[in-house]
Every structure is written in C-alpha cells, then in structure tokens.
Amino acid sequence: MKRIYVIGAGSIGSRHLQALKAVKRPLDITVVDPAPGALRRAEQRFLAGRGKTRHHTRYVATLPHEHSAIDVAIIATNADVRRQVVEALLNRADVRYLILEKLLFCAKPDFSAIQTLLKRRRTKAWVNCPMRLMPPYRDVKTKLTTTALSYHATGSQIALVTTAIHYLDHIAYLTGCADYRVDTSFLNAKPVPSKRKGFLELTGTLLFQFSNGTIGKITSYPTGNAPTMVEIATPDLYYLVREADQKTWIAEPKHNWRWLERSAPIPFQSQITTGIVESLLAQGTCLLPTYRESAALHLPLLEAVRTFLNKHGRKKYRYYPFT
C-alpha cells in the first residue's frame, strides 16, 4: 500500500481526503487534526466519496512518530502554522511528495526556510493552485496566439488575497511569465474579517502588471452576490468563464466575433486531488505549480498587501495576516 498523509481536516483538507477514496490503487491513509469534530466530518466525507478500492484509514489528533517513508503528504492547515507542520513532518519521516495548500505562509522567512528543508530532505513539493488543471481554464491556452493578454476576474466577496494567487498562477501558466508588479491603489482601505477566524481579507481591485505586457485585474466587490466571472482577452480572442453556470463563451475573428457558448464543468477539489495523487504515484510529478514556482508568485503579492495594510491602518504588520 502507498502511504498518504492528510494534515488538516478542515473544509479543504476533508475534500482532499474525499478525493483519495477514488484513487484506484490501495492506500494507507493517515488523517491528522487536533479537532475531533473535524476528524469526524472528514471521515463522513470520505465514506460518502466514490470509489471501489479498499483503503486503510486512521484518524489521529497529533502527528505520529513515523519511521517508514510517506509517499504523498497533503498539508491543508492554516498558513500561520504551515511551516511548523512541514518541519515537524519532514523531521520525523521521509516524504517523497508534498502538496501544500495556499496561501503558503504568513511570514517571509518561512518561504526560504522551507525551500532549504525540501532540498535537504530531497522532497518534491507542489502547491495546490489547480486552475491550470480545470478544463475551461486549461483549454484556453490552446487558443492563445500571443503571450500578452488582458485578464480580469470579478465577483462579490471572493476573498481577494486568497483567490488572487490562483489567478496569478493561471496567468503565469497561460503566458509563461511570472515577473510582475502589484498596484494596490484601487483597494478599499479598510480590511474585512476572513471567514477563517484571526485572519483578514481585502476588497476592491488588485492590479498586476507583468513584464511581458499582460495586465491582470482581480476585483472583489464588498457587497452583493455577483457571481465569479473571468474574462480573458487578446487581439484574436475573447474568452469568458462563469463558474456558477459552468459555461464559457468564446468569440474569435474566424466566427466574426460571434459569441459561442460551451458547457464547461468545473471539477471540485474532491475530484481534482484524485488525479493529482495518481499522477504522483505513477509518474513522480503532477501538473500543479512547483513549490519554487508558486513561492515566487506568492511573495510580491503578499509583500504588496502587507505594505498596503501598514500604510492605511494603525496596526503595523510584520507578517501576512492572510490564509
């Protein structure tokens, strides 16, 4: 049996676990979370998942002392404890492959410290920014005839900082460019509480200027219920995704710019992780961004929003209060 760890059994961690039930090869799965309620909910979701393979599962409150190698570990904790969890795990066991949730960390030194640890322990790591795996967001790349584009994502109360890293990663995937600057001048000055206790979020618009000419805008309206919409435009393509409708609209010169509607199902995390883990176990790699790639995208964003908070608020942050 391949040995899998899921550390953090909250809403996203339990969905990763649910996806493991559909993995075709037998797994020995350990789920770690200090909250008994989270473990119970995770077990319920696992049992309700699809899959015929018999897996072995155990649910524990603390990280076991391991001596055997772990094939895949998924770290789905909050960002403020993620470094501590990764260090504890890698100091107790050999881990072949690591999947980290985002946002990665709440402190700048954590990024380089974990990069050094991964290298020393020879652990390969990826970050769960899966838009590039979702068919409507993956397939648009085949239609692009230029690497410079206009990219605008909008929606009401969409957890701007948390979701921005997804869109930044998608832009980098589409264009091959990861060098960008952040303009925070269109943000609303007052932060709002995150849905996760103890963290913050922002509303307004983040503007990203990439060195290849691409412009990205991510807008979170502070009120209302506007559905999330992603618009991608080049001189030869208009591409619109409305996730709530699970549809895309495409306009191109060859069709005289007439809008063509297409069905575009968006897979859930409880489906996506199945393929990611199967790919890691079979091929030793997956289509998620690597740790190094994602860390390079995280830091300009997090430094910019931390500076913004310190400029407009009384409290001066030396860390990133986002997760």
Domains of the chain: 2-129+271-289 (3.40.50.720), 135-265+302-308 (3.30.360.10)
Res 147: pLDDT: 85
Copy the structure tokens of residue 236: 């030869």
Taking the C-alpha atoms of residue 127 and residue 143, their distance in angstroms, rounded to an integer, is: 26
Res 248: pLDDT: 97
Taking the C-alpha atoms of residue 70 and residue 29, their distance in angstroms, rounded to an integer, is: 10
pTM above 0.95, yes or no: yes
Beta bridge partners of 192: 201
What confidence tens digit (pLDDT) does each residue in 294-306 have? 999 999 999 999 9
Taking the C-alpha atoms of residue 152 and residue 88, their distance in angstroms, rounded to an integer, is: 39
Question: Which position has the token pair 């200090």?
Answer: 34
8 A C-beta contact, residue 189 and residue 312: yes
Task: Classify 8 in phi/psi space as left (phi over 0), alpha (psi -120 to 50) or beta.
Answer: left
Name the residue among 128, 78, 33, 101 with its Cα closest to residue 321. Answer: 78
Copy the structure tokens of residue 25: 């090869």
Please state, as a whole number, how many other Cβ atoms lie within 10 Å of the Cβ of residue 52. Answer: 7
Taking the C-alpha atoms of residue 226 and residue 231, their distance in angstroms, rounded to an integer, is: 14
Task: Classify 3 in phi/psi space as left (phi over 0), alpha (psi -120 to 50) or beta.
Answer: beta
Q: Please give the distance of CA 164 from its chain centroid, rounded to a whole number.
A: 10
Copy the structure tokens of residue 120: 């020393």
8 A C-beta contact, residue 210 and residue 151: no
Please state, as a whole number, how many other Cβ atoms lie within 10 Å of the Cβ of residue 50. Answer: 11
What confidence tens digit (pLDDT) does each residue in 247-276 have? 999 999 999 999 999 999 999 999 999 999
The share of the chain scoring above pLDDT 70, in percent, equals 100
Copy the structure tokens of residue 142: 């085949």
What confidence tens digit (pLDDT) does each residue in 179-214 have? 999 999 999 999 999 988 899 999 999 999 999 999
Q: At what angle do helices 11-20 and 269-283 cross, to 10 degrees?
A: 60
- Residues 228-250 have a mean pLDDT of 97
Res 67: pLDDT: 72
What confidence tens digit (pLDDT) does each residue in 21-50 have? 999 999 999 999 999 999 999 999 999 989
Copy the structure tokens of residue 147: 């690497």
Res 68: pLDDT: 81
Task: Classify 94 in phi/psi space as left (phi over 0), alpha (psi -120 to 50) or beta.
Answer: beta
8 A C-beta contact, residue 105 and residue 79: yes
- Tell me which DSSP letter residue 228 carries: P
Q: What is the mean pLDDT of the chain?
A: 96
Measured in Å, how far apart are the chain's first and last C-alpha atoms? 33
| Whether pLDDT at 229 is above 80 | yes
Strand pairing class (70-75; 2-7): parallel
Res 103: pLDDT: 97
| Whether pLDDT at 66 is above 80 | no
Copy the structure tokens of residue 135: 């068919």
| DSSP 3-state of 51 | coil
Angle at 171 between CA 284 and CA 20, to 5 degrees: 35
Q: What distances in angstroms separate CA 61 from CA 30, 87, 92, one per listed residue?
A: 10, 17, 16
